[in-house]
Amino acid sequence: MTLTCGIDIGGTKIAGAVVDEQGKILAEARVVSPATDTEAVEDAVASLVTTLSAQHEVSAVGIGAAGYVDAGRAVVMFAPNIAWRDEDLRSEIESRVHLPVVVENDANAAAWGEFAFGAAADVDDMLMITVGTGVGGGLVLGGELYRGAFGAAAEIGHLRVVRGGRLCGCGNLGCLEQYASGSALVKDARAQALTPEAADLLARAGGNVLAIDGPMITRAAAEGDAFALGRLRELGTWLGEAIASLAAVLDPGAVVIGGGVSESGDLLLDPIREAFVNELTGRGHRPFLEVRAASLANAAGVIGAADLARR
């Protein structure tokens, strides 16, 4: 049985796992992501691989990186939320761990994990949307991961949805992730925290606006807090409208929602579905795709990256 190591590098954490051919995790570990220090990120990745490969013999390493990865699956050309610019991540990690390395966009890796072993295993064409620090996208068409001519396909978080809108980490204005990410969820809640509607959420935070975070908003929404529910509905509406536009171009069989914010379940998925149905071109005269929750949860990225390294 061939074992590979999958690494998922995000804006706040780095997760790693040893994965078998059936997508089963045999060992896992994680560390905080030192996102502003590229060398520290690479050291952390190498340390995770070393720790995991000491427990199991692995043949290759797949890395899911939050950024634009070149067609050769080696260089992170640009990362909005991590300090990478034209970083040959594959060479850097291979020199440290002495194993073959494949680098893939993190949402692509998550998409492949859900396609091969998870929520989209029954379709040939799927779109993955990861909602976390930013908004990532991964696309499988005809059973193959679609990377585009230059490796930068499916970066849906950087679709411009508001002309002259909020400044994004990518340098442009009005990108989707400035309105539909976990970071946007928290920013909007904090901006409105001193309004009467947000009084209960602010009380949960001990009166400290900066103590409001994503899990707190999700918990409050699950307990019926109207303000928190409204913030998730707003986020879900942005995503549902974006999916309707993407369906007009891609026509996938299913859309899978993953990432940390997706843990809020139907509190997020129902507004997504509603907005999608309301905005889809030709609605009533064409099949509706299914908007599904990721079944592999936060493990999709490491499982997908590990399987891509094996392939």
Q: What is the pLDDT, as a whole number, of residue 297? A: 84
Across 25-34, 44-53, 267-276, least confident range: 25-34
Backbone CA torsion sign across 98, 100, 104, 110: negative
pLDDT digits (tens, 9 = 90+) for 81-94: 777 899 999 999 99
Q: Is the pLDDT of residue 247 over 90?
A: yes
Q: What is the pLDDT, as a whole number, of residue 1? A: 77
Indicate the pLDDT class of residue 110, thresholds 50, 70 and 90. Answer: very high
CATH, domain range 122-295: 3.30.420.40
Give the pLDDT mean for 152-172: 94
Q: 257 burial class (0-12, 13-18, 19+ CB within 10 angstroms)?
A: buried
Q: 204 burial class (0-12, 13-18, 19+ CB within 10 angstroms)?
A: middle
Indicate the pLDDT class of residue 143, thresholds 50, 70 and 90. Answer: very high
Give the pLDDT mean for 35-60: 91
pTM: 0.90
Give the pLDDT mean for 97-103: 96
Count other C-beta atoms under 10 Å from residue 56's C-beta.
Answer: 14
Q: Which of 140, 114, 138 is nearest to 292 (CA)?
A: 114
Domain with CATH 3.30.420.40 in the chain: 4-112+299-310, 122-295
Indicate the pLDDT class of residue 298, thresholds 50, 70 and 90. Answer: confident
Q: What is the mean pLDDT of the chain?
A: 94
CATH, domain range 4-112+299-310: 3.30.420.40
DSSP string, 108-153: HHHHHHHHHHSTTTT-SSEEEEEESSSEEEEEEETTEE---TTS-T
Q: Please report, rounded to a whole number, the percentage of residues in the chain having pLDDT higher than 90.
A: 82
Contact 61, 16 (CB under 8 A): no
